[in-house]
């Protein structure tokens, strides 16, 4: 196979489809033409961007080493709770889970748009460029947001938290609820004005205007230590709701207002229902009496009930609950691959 004339440097952990899109643009080719050449070269009959033979064919087409488009699990792998063999966050070499593809920094991508599965958040530390979904902003070098980005890539990543796993969506909703209860005039609106946004409303806008605060809420308010205290379904929910709202407000250096309190009530109520559901999960759909192992039950419930907080608590919170039967779980191979969706109460 002849190699393409223009060299396009791959972005770290770039997706195959993202890289082909950039190749097509820089060579004035159609994506379909490149795909057809790769299908032939890889000896397939249809297109697949997950076939390693396609990645090798693509690397050869660009004159790159064969493994140039393989994403390094060592460098970019996710920590997951998959039960291989334990349910604590771990980098599992059997699942080899990577982050969902997210928009890459356009400066890293030579001015084009592409997607990457790298161990990163929305901020490129090299170019100080913010990129989240369709929102891209150039920030001053050494921006105040850099530390938040490092915390995302470091301790939060190792708790199994990435931009697609839901916790940031929930924290962004908390900040928005608090800001709305303050009738504007908070740091959120002030920064939105600086970025030329009318008022932060979407997930990507709240993230841009409150990135350090969102990361802080995930770090502190969604830590196992705090969640253990607010997901106790055998005790009255009211003090737990007050507690959760207080921790969030303290993290923001603010006080609780009605709007934040209502939000915390809805989130804790939803999480408590999910914990009760987890407590009654049966091992399989047919085994009516055999309960699911507790740690697995929490992970399954966090997926089916869309309650990401359940992924961060010890299964001991299920001890001593009266367990009415709820449902049976699917096979491990199915629940392990359950797609993560943000909670319904989160900013989507
Ligand atoms: Zn695994
Ligand atoms: Zn960059």
Shortest-distance ligand to the CA of residue 106: 2
How confident is the model at residue 322, as a pLDDT?
Answer: 80
With beta carbons less than 8 A apart as the criterion, state whether 77 and 97 touch: yes
pLDDT, averaged per 10 consecutive residues of the chain (348 residues), comes to: 92 98 97 96 95 96 96 97 92 96 98 98 98 96 96 98 97 97 92 94 97 98 96 96 98 98 98 96 86 94 96 93 88 88 94
Domain end position, chosen among 36, 55, 70: 70
The angle at the Cα of 102, spanning 330 to 166, to the nearest 5 degrees, equals 50
Shortest-distance ligand to the CA of residue 97: 1
With beta carbons less than 8 A apart as the criterion, state whether 299 and 81 touch: yes
Whether 36 maps to a domain, the answer reads yes
What is the CA 102 to chain-centroid distance, rounded?
Answer: 10
Cα 84 to ligand 1 centroid, rounded to whole Å: 5
Whether 123 maps to a domain, the answer reads no
Shortest-distance ligand to the CA of residue 114: 2
Cα 73 to ligand 2 centroid, rounded to whole Å: 21
CB atoms within 10 A of CB 5: 8
Shortest-distance ligand to the CA of residue 125: 2
Cα 313 to ligand 1 centroid, rounded to whole Å: 19
Cα 91 to ligand 2 centroid, rounded to whole Å: 26
Whether 169 maps to a domain, the answer reads yes
Residues 199 and 311 in one domain: yes
End-to-end Cα separation, the chain, in angstroms? 44
Residues 178 and 304 in one domain: yes
Whether 330 maps to a domain, the answer reads yes
With beta carbons less than 8 A apart as the criterion, state whether 327 and 118 touch: no
CA distance 26 to 17: 14
Cα 217 to ligand 1 centroid, rounded to whole Å: 28
With beta carbons less than 8 A apart as the criterion, state whether 299 and 90 touch: no
The token duo for 58 is 């693509």
Whether 239 maps to a domain, the answer reads yes
Cα 346 to ligand 2 centroid, rounded to whole Å: 28
Cα 74 to ligand 1 centroid, rounded to whole Å: 14
Whether 249 maps to a domain, the answer reads yes
Whether 300 maps to a domain, the answer reads yes
Cα 231 to ligand 2 centroid, rounded to whole Å: 40
Q: Which residues have a Cβ under 8 Å from the Cβ of 238 and sit 6 or more positions away?
A: none
Cα 114 to ligand 2 centroid, rounded to whole Å: 12
CA distance 143 to 194: 14
Angle between helices 187-194 and 203-220 (to 10 degrees): 140
Picking from 5, 12, 272, 246, the residue whose alpha carbon sits closest to that of residue 124 is: 12
CA distance 261 to 251: 14
Whether 134 maps to a domain, the answer reads no
φ/ψ of residue 132, rounded to 5: -140, 120
Cα 79 to ligand 2 centroid, rounded to whole Å: 24
Residues 51 and 146 in one domain: no
- Measured CA to CA in angstroms, residue 65 lies from 166, 192, 251 at distances of 36, 44, 47
Cα 110 to ligand 2 centroid, rounded to whole Å: 9
The angle at the Cα of 199, spanning 195 to 202, to the nearest 5 degrees, equals 95
Residues 161 and 305 in one domain: yes
With beta carbons less than 8 A apart as the criterion, state whether 340 and 164 touch: yes
The token duo for 76 is 């970019």
CA distance 331 to 284: 7
With beta carbons less than 8 A apart as the criterion, state whether 35 and 47 touch: yes
Domain end position, chosen among 30, 53, 70: 70
Into how many domains does the chain fold?
Answer: 2
Shortest-distance ligand to the CA of residue 107: 2
How confident is the model at residue 338, as a pLDDT?
Answer: 87
Residues 56 and 188 in one domain: no
- Domain carrying residue 267: 141-348
Domain end position, chosen among 31, 46, 70: 70
């Amino acid at each position: 196979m002849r190699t393409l004339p223009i060299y396009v440097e791959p972005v770290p952990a770039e997706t195959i489809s993202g890289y082909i899109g950039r190749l097509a643009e820089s060579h004035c080719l159609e994506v379909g033409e490149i795909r057809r050449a790769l299908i032939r070269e890889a000896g397939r009959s249809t297109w697949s961007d997950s076939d390693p033979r396609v990645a090798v064919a693509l690397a050869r087409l660009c004159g790159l080493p064969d493994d140039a488009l393989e994403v390094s699990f060592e460098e970019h792998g996710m920590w997951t709770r998959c039960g291989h063999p334990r349910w604590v966050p771990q980098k599992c070499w059997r699942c080899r889970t990577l982050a969902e593809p997210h928009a890459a920094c356009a400066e890293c991508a030579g001015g084009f748009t592409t997607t990457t599965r790298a161990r990163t958040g929305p901020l490129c530390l090299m170019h100080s460029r913010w990129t989240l979904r369709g929102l891209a902003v150039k920030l001053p070098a050494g921006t105040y947001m850099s530390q938040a980005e490092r915390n995302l890539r470091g301790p939060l990543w190792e708790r199994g938290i990435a931009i697609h796993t839901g916790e940031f969506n929930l924290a962004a909703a908390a900040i928005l609820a608090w800001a709305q209860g303050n009738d504007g005039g908070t740091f959120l609106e002030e920064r939105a004005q600086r970025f030329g946004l009318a008022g932060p409303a979407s997930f990507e806008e709240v993230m841009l205007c409150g990135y350090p605060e969102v990361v802080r809420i995930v770090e502190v308010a969604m830590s196992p230590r705090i969640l253990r205290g607010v997901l106790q379904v055998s005790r009255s929910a009211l003090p737990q709701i007050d507690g959760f709202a207080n921790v969030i407000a303290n993290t923001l250096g603010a006080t609780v207002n009605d709007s934040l309190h209502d939000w915390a009530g809805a989130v804790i109520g939803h999480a408590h229902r999910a914990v009760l559901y987890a407590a009654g999960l049966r091992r399989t759909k047919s085994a009516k009496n055999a309960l699911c192992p507790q740690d697995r039950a929490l992970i399954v419930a966090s997926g089916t009930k869309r309650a990401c907080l359940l992924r961060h608590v010890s299964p001991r919170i299920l001890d001593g609950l009266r367990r009415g039967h709820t449902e049976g779980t699917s096979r491990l191979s199915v629940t392990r691959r359950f797609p993560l969706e943000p909670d319904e109460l989160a900013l989507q």
